[in-house]
Each structure stands twice: as structure tokens, then as C-alpha cells.
């Protein structure tokens, strides 16, 4: 049974990030990720960089990676589409890993954003990114840790799509 408390869910996700070794997090909010971003901001072990547009965050995280940080970025899938050039010509071109935590608007059962939902996974696959849809809170630690290992070893972005059930929101 999923925990329907978004604050508790946010705590699980932030704990999972830290267990995966992440120490540098850029964010641009979707309402569904509000509590996660608040938890990132509060956590003293995570460097938090709030963004104005997702694509610049790919650049900021690339710079931080080169300097030894383990980076993650929170964004909605519209922001992922906004970032495709940087992901291609910086992340892929220079072989720079990043853990992408993407709120899956337009996911099955989600009203509105169905067009966005429909193109999200095909675009991830077109870029050659491994991607995982995270639906169960009990799989947070394993998925974030596994995705971070994949990103670090393949030196490529890896995407984890966050759903309402894992975020504890309606």
C-alpha cells in the first residue's frame, strides 16, 4: 500500500538519492514534486540549485560532475523536452552522466498532458537513454541506486520517471 503522504514520500526519495551517492541536485518544480523539492532544499548534505529553465540545469550539472559531484536533476517531462539539445550536445557528446528524475505528466490515468505523456518515453529512447518508471515506494532505493550506477558507469544520462503513486500525491 502506497504511503499517500507526500512529505513522507519526499523523505524516502531524498534518502534514496543520498544512498545512491547524489550530492548535487538541480530542480525545476512540478506541483506534484513540491515536497521533494522542499526536502532537497532543507537537506544540508545536498547542494541545491533551483533553475529557471531545465536546459541550463544540464549545463550546471555537467560542470559540477566534471568537478567531482554526483548530480541529479528534478524536472517535469515538459522540461525534459526543453533540455534535449543540451542532453545531446553536452551530456551525450561529452559522455557526462546525470540522474534525471522526471515527473511523468500524462502517465496512465493522468488527466491533461496526454500529448506530453505520449512522447516522453519515445523521446527518451530516441536519445538512447535507459529509463525506468518508478511506481512503488518500496522500490525507490533500489531504482535510484541502480540508475545512478548505470549513469556513472555508462557515462550517460539515465531517467527515472516519477509517478503520482511514488510521490504520494493524487
Using DSSP's 3-state secondary structure scheme, residue 2 falls into coil
> According to the binding rule CB under 8 A, does residue 22 interact with other proteins?
no
> According to the binding rule CB under 8 A, does residue 61 interact with other proteins?
yes
CB of 46 to other proteins, least distance (A): 13
> According to the binding rule CB under 8 A, does residue 153 interact with other proteins?
yes
Cα(68)–Cα(170) distance, integer angstroms: 37
**What's CA 31's distance to the chain center, in Å?**
14
> According to the binding rule CB under 8 A, does residue 74 interact with other proteins?
no
Cα(170)–Cα(156) distance, integer angstroms: 32
Cα(2)–Cα(15) distance, integer angstroms: 17
Position among 52, 112, 122, 170 found at the interface with other proteins (CB under 8 A): 52
Residues that bind other proteins (CB under 8 A): 24, 47, 49-53, 55-69, 85-86, 89-90, 93-96, 152-153
Amino acid at each position: 500500500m502506497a504511503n499517500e503522504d507526500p512529505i513522507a514520500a519526499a523523505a524516502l526519495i531524498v534518502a534514496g538519492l543520498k544512498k545512491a551517492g547524489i550530492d548535487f541536485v538541480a530542480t525545476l518544480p512540478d506541483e506534484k514534486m513540491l515536497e521533494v523539492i522542499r526536502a532537497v532544499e532543507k537537506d544540508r548534505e545536498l547542494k541545491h540549485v533551483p533553475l529557471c529553465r531545465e536546459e541550463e540545469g544540464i549545463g550546471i550539472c555537467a560542470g559540477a560532475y566534471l568537478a567531482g559531484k554526483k548530480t541529479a536533476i528534478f524536472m517535469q517531462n515538459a522540461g525534459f523536452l526543453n533540455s534535449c539539445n543540451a542532453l545531446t550536445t553536452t551530456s551525450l557528446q561529452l559522455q557526462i552522466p546525470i540522474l534525471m528524475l522526471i515527473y511523468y505528466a500524462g502517465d496512465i490515468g493522468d488527466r491533461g498532458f496526454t500529448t506530453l505523456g505520449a512522447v516522453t518515453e519515445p523521446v527518451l529512447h530516441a536519445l538512447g537513454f535507459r529509463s525506468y518508471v518508478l511506481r512503488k515506494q518500496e522500490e525507490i532505493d533500489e531504482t535510484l541506486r541502480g540508475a545512478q550506477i548505470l549513469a556513472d558507469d555508462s557515462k550517460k544520462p539515465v531517467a527515472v520517471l516519477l509517478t503520482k503513486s511514488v510521490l504520494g500525491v493524487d
